[in-house]
Amino acid sequence: MKAKNLFKYAALFGIALIAAAALSGCSESVTPDDEITVTDEDVAHQSGYVAFAIAEVLPQMGRSAVAELVSLGTPFQGEFWHETVPNEHVWTDADHKLSLYIEEFDNTVVFEFDLEGLGDPLTVNGEGSMRMGSLYLAFEVIDVVVVGDMPVSGTIEIDSSNRIATITFDDGTATVTIGGLTFTIDLSDGSLIE
Amino acid sequence: MNPFFRSSARVAIAAALLALAWAMPAAAGDENLDELLEQVGQGYAEGYLAPLIHGFGINQNTGLYHTAKIPKTRLFFTFGLKAMASKIGEDDKTFRVVETVDLSDFVDPGDPGYGETGQLVFEGPTVFGDESETGTATVYYHGIPVFTQEGVTSLVDMDYVLLATPELTVGGIAGLQATLRWLPSMSMGDMGDLSYMGFGAAYGVSNLMPTLPFDTSVGMFFQNLDIGESLKTSASSFYVAVSKSFTVATLYAGAAKESSSMEVNYTFIGDDQNTDINFKVDGLQGGRGTIGATLDLGVMLNAEIGFGKLTTYSAGLLFGI
């Protein structure tokens, strides 16, 4: 009887140990992990930087009769293809991408572009990203038309911390819209149009 | 003192010192904990030290008993070494603290954001995080980083907060027992010097109910632990324990209401001026459940697991008469 009780208690303890071992990894976190608050106004400000960057890079994609690899100098890095037969065609690919570097607030803002432009006037589609310190956002370029040195139509959609902003181009201006916020930038000098 | 206990005390203290020295690997960098804290302010320090603050408090309240049986009329002495470990999860290897700040303190007049508020984000490895990473302090204005400063690296990459201590228990008169824990001040490498003392008392409730098929006791424990020049912790526990003995083995379980806190005091050495930093953090763990076993083979071997905010492990080697 005593041996039977001993076996019973040993079995119960063994089960308890197995359960304990299974639960032993279940520690809760005791370290703060605060959320960074991101508002529509924050994303709107970030979008202004993207509008400026696109207006800088698209005019660099000039003309060439046959497909050739073109490199850009400071503040750009990287290269892209362009040709003009039968119509204008410019594009980046996996091995040839464009980057734009801008110094702001003692930080280096890095834009990366993966784009393709077709036709005359050039209509550009593609995607890109902006990194500034620990800030990172992605954007999609949708049917942006370039005439001369300016985007004149088309949109860019920006995803920052799961908030979506839209930049709409119109004859040398860029209008940023997110939620109820809207503001317009003059792309010729980056100033805010009231 | 009985020669047996004198030699046992020396062995236990030496074992505790060796266990702690082995358990605290040297940090990758050249700076100790006090030197790292001097480089950061309070907001950063609160996040950076969080697993150490809570882990040491929880460790102190671990391994407080190895049986619930306290004799009523048989004097006994137990002396030995207890070691504790609290598991650090992956989420406790990094931290992020966000504060709202006046941007005037971080940007120049005329710059965007001057006079407005922004977010100051402290983030990076905690004191036990990845040694190859360095934390940062970044100020954001409308989501744009306008100020960045480097923080500090972790002290040492560890998955457990460790502690070991000798322990002396005397009891058996009127169902009472008293326990003393003590470590002399000793160097813990880059953690700085550590000193530790605790006192507890318990009563064997089952002496009032001798027909119970198991033993039960209630007890309390109070402890203080100082680390380096900057950190002072205190911990207290009130517990109830039950146990059942089988020839050489004793199985036990318990529940405890506990608390701990850490006072942090150091001087932040800034670019323009030094600032005295003083703050207190209360431990997050308010209670725990424990299960364990003790084998009496002439010397007693004890092992237990504690369940609370952190999972804790304890093992003991005890000599007694």
The residue of chain B nearest to residue A160, with distances taken between CA atoms, is: B143
pLDDT, tens digit (0-9, with 9 covering 90-100), for B298-310: 899 999 999 988 8
Q: Are B141 and B215 members of one domain?
A: no
- Tell me the count of A-B CB pairs closer than 8 A: 118
Contacts of B141 in chain A (CB under 8 A): 45
User: pLDDT tens, A158-187?
Assistant: 998 888 999 999 988 999 999 888 889 888
Concatenated DSSP letters of A19-83: HHHHHTT-PPP-S-BPPPP--HHHHHHHHHHHHHHHHHHGGG----SS-EEEE--TTEEEEEEEE
Q: Are residues B83 and B109 in the same domain?
A: no
Whether residue B48 is contained in a domain is answered as no
- The reply to whether B50 falls in a domain is no
Q: Do A29 and B142 touch (CB under 8 A)?
A: no
Q: Is A131 exposed, middle or buried (0-12, 13-18, 19+ CB in 10 A)?
A: middle
Domain extent, residue A82, equals 40-193
pTM, entire model: 0.72
Q: What is the pLDDT of residue A167?
A: 93
* Band of pLDDT at residue B189, cut at 50, 70 and 90: confident
- What would the pLDDT profile of B64-109 be if each residue is shown by its tens digit? 999 999 998 889 999 999 999 998 889 999 999 999 999 988 888 8
Angle at B124 between CA B119 and CA B127, to 5 degrees: 130
Residue B47 inside a domain? The answer is no
**Does residue B15 belong to any structural domain of this protein?**
yes
Tell whether B270 lies on the interface with A, counting CB pairs under 8 A. no
- So what's the pLDDT on residue A81? 76
Residues B224 and B255 in one domain: yes
Domain boundary, last residue among B117, B135, B153: B153
- pLDDT of B1 > 60? The answer is no
Judgement on whether residues B137 and B212 belong to the same structural domain of the protein:
no
Could you tell me if B196 and B312 lie in one domain?
yes
pLDDT score for A1: 45
Listed residues B110, B131, B153: the one ending a domain: B153
pLDDT over 70 (residue B140) = yes
Locate the chain B residue with the closest alpha carbon to A108: B145
Which residue from A28, A34, A39 is facing B97, i.e. has the nearest CB? Answer: A34
- Chain-chain contact of A49 with B309 (C-beta, under 8 angstroms): no
pLDDT band at A42 (very low <50, low <70, confident <90, very high): confident
Which of B153, B168, B188 terminates a domain? The answer is B153
Determine, yes or no, domain membership for A50: yes
Among the partner-chain residues B142, B284, B293, the one whose CB lies closest to the CB of A42 is: B142
B121 and B247 assigned to the same domain = no
> Is the residue at B227 inside a domain?
yes
Q: State the smallest CA–CA distance between residue A139 and chain B in angstroms.
A: 16
Based on the domain organization, do B77 and B34 belong to the same domain?
yes
Identify the sign of the CA torsion A49, A52, A54, A56: negative
Does some domain include residue A13? no
Non-local CB neighbours of A97 within 8 Å, separated by 6+ positions: A78, A80, A112, A113, A114
Residue B72 and residue B207 in contact, taking contact as beta carbons nearer than 8 Å:
yes
- Once rounded to an integer, what is the mean pLDDT over residues A139-163? 90
User: Span B261-275, mean pLDDT?
Assistant: 90
**pLDDT value, residue B26:** 42
Q: Are B153 and B133 in contact (CB under 8 A)?
A: yes
To the nearest whole angstrom, how far is the Cα of B2 from the nearest Cα of chain A? 37
Q: Say if B120 falls within a structural domain.
A: yes
Do residues B213 and B282 share a domain?
yes
- Is residue A111 in some structural domain? yes
Kindly report, residue by residue over B216-248, the tens digit of the pLDDT: 999 999 999 998 888 899 999 999 999 999 888
CB contact under 8 Å between A106 and B147, yes or no, is yes
Give domain status of residue A16, yes or no: no
- The per-residue DSSP string of B34-62 comes to HHHHTTS-HHHHHHHTHHHHHHHHHHHTS
Looking at the structure, tell me whether residues B116 and B190 fall in a common domain: no
Question: Helix (H, G, I), strand (E, B), or coil: what is residue A98?
Answer: strand
The reply to whether A180 falls in a domain is yes
Domain count along chain A: 1
From chain B residues 65-124, the ones with a CB under 8 A of any chain A CB are: 86-89, 91-92, 94-98, 107, 111, 119, 121, 123
DSSP symbols for B134-179: EEEEEEEETTEEEEEEEEEE-S---SEEEEEEEEEEEEEETTEEEE
Q: Which residues of A touch B47 (CB under 8 A)?
A: 31-32
Q: Is the pLDDT of residue B203 over 80?
A: yes
The answer, yes or no, to whether ipTM is higher than 0.90 is no
Domain hosting residue B132, numbered range: 94-153
B42 pLDDT tier (thresholds 50, 70, 90):
very high
Does residue B123 fall inside a structural domain?
A: yes
| Confidence check: pLDDT of A58 > 90 | no
> Residues B21, B163: one domain?
yes
